[in-house]
Amino acid sequence: MTGPARAGRWADGLRLAWGTLSAVPVPPPRRVDRPVAGAAMLLAPLAALPLVAAWVGWALLARWAGSPPLVTGGVAVALGVLLTRAMHQDGLADYSDGLSASYDRERALAVMKTGDVGPSGATAIALSLLVQAACLGALAPAPGGITLGAVALVTSRHVLAWACLRGVPSARPSGLGDMVAGSVARWQALTALAVVAGVTVVAAGPSALWAGLACVAAGLVGCWLVVERAVRRLGGITGDVLGAAIEVSLSLALVAASLLR
């Protein structure tokens, strides 16, 4: 691949990541294919920057105003939902409803595709938002806690690279999952992880170094749990599985951060 073509792939990947993972308007990618999809998954943490900015700004304002922790956390979660059009919550709900509907693969995939939210999906959304709000409210009073919240947000998007590793199949031959499944090489995911870990070390500093790295590790564990279950029950990933991976990873990363802050 020539230099201009390679640069175009990464530029289109960034546009695809921002357009897919955030509500921030960006120009559409000039082309969408598997290399661009892989680049988008690797660059997904950059799509979390608006969320990081909203979180840091609100947390600082809440500290200044003396906001109660639950209010602080609740508003922080609401900002995240607004900036992502609740896409990831929708994925988590469909994933949960599909897995609880039937052990039959085709039936589970059909339930996930309907878009209706059943009791399992509603419960999953409620629990994840509750955990995230409680953790963010606990992290906001201290500068180190604010940093750890930002690390959790970035990590929850980085895990998409691992969810789309080569060898991870698509559950069905259509949709977002089919486009991105298997689009990331292992060395690329490891390189991206090294960048995320390096930024975490610098941002967290010596006082919160291990808490920051534990936050990243917890997010990766959350992704593995979601993807492993999807491959075993559904035969692969879908767009809903990716949304669920983001939300579960974010919740576990925030729990680790709030416990170790």
Q: What is the pLDDT of residues 58-93, one digit of tens each?
A: 999 999 999 999 999 999 999 999 999 999 999 999
209 phi and psi, to 5 degrees?
A: -60, -55
* 105 vs 255, residue with greater confidence: 255
Confidence label for 103 from pLDDT (cuts 50, 70 and 90)? confident
Q: Are 50 and 25 in contact (CB under 8 A)?
A: no
**Lowest-pLDDT range, 5-14, 68-77, 185-194, 198-207?**
5-14
Q: Say how far apart CA 175 and CA 124 lie, in whole Å.
A: 23
pLDDT at position 4 over 70: no
The pLDDT, as a whole number, for residue 101 is: 84
And the tokens for 12? 């289109």
What is the value of pTM for the model shown? Answer: 0.94
Mean pLDDT score of the chain: 93
Q: Residues of the chain with pLDDT > 70: what percent?
A: 97
| C-alpha angle 20-154-53 in degrees, rounded to nearest 5 | 85
The domain locations on the chain are 3-260
How much is the average pLDDT of 43-53? Answer: 96
Q: Say how far apart CA 151 and CA 195 lie, in whole Å.
A: 12
pLDDT at position 28 over 90: no
pLDDT at position 162 over 80: yes
